[in-house]
Amino acid sequence: MPPSQGSAHPFRLLGVYAALLAVIYALVFFTGDHSPTPKLGIDLQGGTRVTLTARTPDGSRPSQDSLKKAQEIIENRVNGLGVSGSEVVIDGDNIVITVPGEDSQQARALATTAKLYIRPVLAATQPQAGGAQVPPTQPGAPQTPATDTPAPAETTAPAAGEPTTPAPQSRVFPAQAPPTPTPAPGGGSIQQQQAKEIADAKALRQSTDQAVQQVAVASMDCTKPDPLAGNDDPALPLVTCSQDGTEVFLLGPSRIDGQEIADATSGLNAQQARHEVNLEFKSAGADAWSDLTGEYVYKRVAFVLDSKVVSAPQVQQGPQLGGRTSISGSFTADSAAELANTLKYGSLPLSFQTSEAETVSATLGLSSLKAGLLAGAVGLIAVLLYCLLVYRMLGLLAGFSLLAAGAAVYGIIVLLGRWIGFTLDLAGIAGLIIGIGLTADSFVVFFERIKDEMREGRSFRSAVPRGWARAQRTNLSGKTVSLIASVVLYLLAAGQVKGFAFTLGITTVLDVIVLYLVTAPLMMLAARSPFWAKPSVNGLGSVQQIARERGAGQARPKEMSR
C-alpha cells in the first residue's frame, strides 16, 4: 500500500477490518450450532480410541504392506474431512484410530472398507420379527428415483441372462434351517474362526441355487454384524440388507466396480431437499453405467458398500450418458460427506472389525493447556510492557492491533472447526502464540523505520508514511518466508505438527491483513495529531534530539567556510 493511500483513507481501511470482524462473528453466532467455542483436540478434550482388527478371507495374518496401505488410505480420509486431529497408527496386526470427542462412530466410519459395487436388484422384501420375511417385491416396484426426471413405475420381467426371481407367495418362505457355522476343530484360532464365518456366509448368501437364495432371504437378520462385510464375491449373487436394516435384497452379480469411480462429492439436491453423493465414473465405468441404466429402465439398481445396500433407486431414464450419477438415501450433510470422502480415496486392502473402543483422558492435556496459556499471557504482557517502555503511547497502538488480530484468529478457528473439522490442540496453540509474536515483530520493524526517517531530520508527521513505505517491503518479505515454511511443514509433517503449521500459517496471513488494515491506518491518524507528535507521547524525543544535533553539526562547517 503506497503511503498516499494509507494517509488518505485510514478510516476507510479501519472500516473494512471492522466489517470483516462483523462478518466473522455473524457467522459464529448465527450459523451452525451458534457455539462461540472452538473444537478442541484429543490432548485437550480427550477422545475415543478404536482398535480395528484386520479380517482376511482365508484367515491368514495380514501383511505389513496391506496394513501400511490401509493406514495411508485412512489418513487420506482423515485429511479429506479436514484437520481433525485424528491419529492413525499400526499396532501389531491392528490399526488404532483415535478421534477427538466421545463418539466412536467417526473412527469406525474412517475404517469402512469402501468396496463399492453396483448390482441389479432381483428381489426385495422387508425383514420381519423372528426371521420371517414378507414376499419379495419385483424389480419394477416404485422406489426412490435415480434421476430427477419423473416416469411411471412399471413391473417388468428380468432381462435375459438374469436369475429368474421366484414368484411372490401368499405365505412366508418355507422354514428351512440355514447352514449353521460350526467351530473349527479344537476350537481353532481367531483367524480360522473368522475364515469359517466368511465361508459359511458366502455359501448361504452368495449361492446361485434359487432354493438356497430363498432360505438366505428368509433367515437374514439385519440386526446382527455382517461377517461378510467387504468380503463378498462380486461375480456371484448376494443376499444382504440395507444399511438402515429396513429391507432385505437379492442382488445379481456386480456390473460396475467402485474402482471405476473417478471422483465423489456430496451436496444438497435443492429440488428434492435431500443430501446426495455425486459420483463421476472413469471411461470404462461410464460405458458400463450407460449400458446398465439402458437395460434396467424402471427397475432398481443397488449401490452396495461393504456388502450393505447404501441406496437402491429406480432407474427412471436410460441409458444415462456422461458417466455421472448420484447415490440417494437417508443421508445427513455429515454422513453424505463421509461417504463421498470414503469412496473418493478408494477401498482398503483389508476388511476390519472393531475389537476394542475406549475413552482417552485429557487430564494431562488440560493442565498443559493451562500452563501454555499462562506462558503465552506472560509473554504477551512482557511484549506490551516493552512496547510501552520503548515507544510510549505508540505501544498502545501495537496492543490494539494485537487484540484485533487475536479476535479475528479466534473467530476463524471456531468457523474452521464447523466447516472442515479443525480441532485446536496444544501444538496449534503454540503456533498461534508464535504467530502473534511475529505480529509484534512487524510493529517493531515499522516503528524502527519511523525512527530512521526522523534521524534524517524529518518530522513525525512526514516520517510515518515514509517509514511505512520502507517497512512494508521488509515485513512482506519476512511474512512470505514464514508462510512458505508453514505450507512446507504442513505438507511434509504428520499428526500434531500439521496443527502447528496450520495455525502458524493462518496467523501469518492475518498478520499481513492487520498490518495493512489496522496498524498502518492507526499510525497515519496518529501522524496527523499534534498530541501524538509530542516526544513525551511517542517516545521519539531522543531521536529528534539526535537529528537536531546532526543538523547543527552540519551547519557549523558551512558557517566556518564562509
For 176-187, the pLDDT digits (tens) are 444 444 444 444
Using CA atoms, how far apart are residues 71 and 89, in angstroms rounded to an integer? 7
Domain spanning 47-110: CATH 3.40.640.10: no
- Which residues on neighbouring strands pair with residue 250, listed in sequence order? 123, 239
Q: Enumerate the domain spans of the chain.
A: 3-40+363-556, 47-110, 116-171+196-333
Q: At what angle do helices 496-514 and 460-492 cross, to 10 degrees?
A: 160
Burial of 322 (0-12, 13-18, 19+ CB in 10 A): exposed
Q: With a cut of 70, say whether residue 108 has pLDDT above it.
A: no
Using CA atoms, how far apart are residues 453 and 3, in angstroms rounded to an integer? 14
431, 41 contact by CB (below 8 A)? no
Using CA atoms, how far apart are residues 24 and 525, in angstroms rounded to an integer? 26
Helix (H) or strand (E) holding 410: helix 394-419
The predicted pLDDT at position 25 comes to 94
Highest-scoring range by mean pLDDT, 134-143, 201-210, 492-501: 201-210
What average pLDDT does the segment 197-224 reach? 90
Q: 546 in helix, strand or coil?
A: helix
Using a pLDDT cut of 90, give the percent of the chain over it.
Answer: 19
Using CA atoms, how far apart are residues 191 and 265, in angstroms rounded to an integer? 36
Q: With a cut of 80, say whether residue 109 has pLDDT above it.
A: no
Using CA atoms, how far apart are residues 85 and 51, in angstroms rounded to an integer? 17
Residue whose entry in the numeric block shows the C-alpha cell 437379492: 250
353 phi and psi angles, rounded to 5 deg? -130, 145
Q: Which of 64, 47, 109, 183 is nearest to 352 (CA)?
A: 109
When pLDDT is cut at 50, 70 and 90, the band that residue 321 belongs to is: confident
Domain spanning 3-40+363-556: CATH 2.30.30.830: no
Using CA atoms, how far apart are residues 329 and 492, in angstroms rounded to an integer? 38
The predicted pLDDT at position 424 comes to 84
The predicted pLDDT at position 182 comes to 45
Using CA atoms, how far apart are residues 472 and 115, in angstroms rounded to an integer? 54
Q: DSSP states of 193-216 as a string?
A: HHHHHHHHHHHHHT-S-HHHHHHH
State pLDDT tens for residues 244-277. 888 999 999 999 988 888 888 888 888 888 888 8
State pLDDT tens for residues 452-479. 888 888 888 888 999 999 898 899 998 9
